[in-house]
Amino acid sequence: MNRTSTESSLTSRSSECNPWKFGGLSFYEMGRRLWHESLRDEVLGRAAQLSYYIVLALFPALLVLTALMGVFSVQGYMPRLMSHLSQVLPNDALSMVERFLKQVAAGSGADILSLGALGALWASSSGMAAIMDALNVVYGVKEDSRPFWRARLTAIALTIGLAGFVILSLALVLYGTRLSAWIADLIGLGRVFVVAWNLLQWPVVAAIMLFVVGVIYYVCPDIRQDWRWVTPGSAFAVAMWFVVSLGFKLYVDNFGDYNKVYGSIAGIIVLMLWLYWSGMVLLLGGEINAEIDKAATARAHQDPDHEEAA
């Protein structure tokens, strides 16, 4: 099936199958297709492009959060925040991000709509625009139905939404214990509710991540598809992100000595490598969803009377 027919089939049939049936594909066939399509779409190279663009967009995005950090007064929680980030970020990258966040927090304020913040928002949206371009390639479509201004506004909206996800996650992690204690006192459950929240806060954050990745797969490619809360691709991307992040951190902190090789820029190199692996699992998750859609469409065309349960 060529890319032109893929585009039309994804548009017309992507929502008519249950993605968890994998379009009738076996795990072996799914793996084989994923391997060949990843090579065809140059996923390794596109993940490298994503890491570059996201690094360029990351620090303007953190500047956008400057005002919000002033509003929510997270400076006092900075050590705890760094403790949580240290679970997924290698030490070299963590130290660089920590220095930047401390500078941001020191000068933070409530001027959210300043020209500087708006300019930083425009710059930070370039990272999301790069994700949109990469997922268009993964899904085998072109940016035809959305003009430039609409695509850019979509990238800005997704960037704002991602910032909201970060703020919500930080609020759950940093303020979750106090919030759970307040709710427990309010509804009279006492210590039981607090303990339950301490156990559930990370699964809740993982569920939010699944939602965000699902939104990215739904909005970024220029195709029409029905919304699904969790897809095989999003589940794969989130699970593999945790595995890759923890594995990469373990390697860098115990075996890789980037300071000897790269010196003072070791932090940015490690951060780019972490973003590279993160971008790769995001694109692979998109490949999984695209292959399921193509297989289900081909199956439906072979048997027009066959309808799979949604």
pLDDT by residue (tens digit) across 25-53? 888 899 999 999 999 999 999 999 888 88
Greater confidence (217 vs 111) lies with 217
State the average pLDDT for the chain: 75
pLDDT digits (tens, 9 = 90+) for 221-257: 988 888 888 899 999 999 998 888 888 888 877 776 6
pLDDT of residue 171: 64
Q: Does the pLDDT of residue 101 top 80, yes or no?
A: no
Residue 309 lies in a domain: no
Contact 54, 279 (CB under 8 A): yes
Residue 7 lies in a domain: yes
pLDDT of residue 302: 72
pLDDT digits (tens, 9 = 90+) for 139-183: 888 887 888 888 888 888 888 787 777 666 666 666 666 666 666
pLDDT of residue 88: 65
pLDDT of residue 310: 44
Residue 310 lies in a domain: no
* Number of domains the chain contains: 1
The pair of three-digit structure tokens given for residue 139, joined into one six-digit string: 């899904």
What is the extent of the structural domain holding 16?
3-300
Residue 132 lies in a domain: yes
Average pLDDT value for residue range 283-287: 93
Closest CA to 174 of 108, 87, 83: 83
Greater confidence (302 vs 286) lies with 286
Average pLDDT value for residue range 72-99: 67
Quick one: what percent of the chain has pLDDT higher than 90?
13
Q: Does the pLDDT of residue 289 top 50, yes or no?
A: yes
Q: Does the pLDDT of residue 97 top 90, yes or no?
A: no
The pLDDT-based confidence of 188 (bands split at 50, 70, 90) is low
Residue 200 lies in a domain: yes
Q: Cβ contacts of residue 56 below 8 Å, gap of 6+?
A: 123, 126, 127
Q: Does the pLDDT of residue 283 top 90, yes or no?
A: yes
Residue 306 lies in a domain: no
Average pLDDT value for residue range 75-97: 68
Q: Does the pLDDT of residue 120 top 60, yes or no?
A: yes
Quick one: what percent of the chain has pLDDT higher than 70?
63
Residue 14 lies in a domain: yes
Q: Is 221 left (phi over 0), alpha (psi -120 to 50) or beta?
A: beta
Residue 167 lies in a domain: yes
pLDDT of residue 78: 64
Question: Does the model's pTM come out above 0.85?
Answer: no
Using a CB cutoff of 8 Å and minimum separation of 24, what contacts does 128-133 make? Answer: 128/57, 128/155, 128/156, 128/158, 128/159, 128/162, 128/220, 129/53, 129/155, 130/49, 130/50, 130/53, 130/54, 130/57, 131/50, 131/216, 131/220, 131/279, 131/282, 132/220, 132/221, 132/222
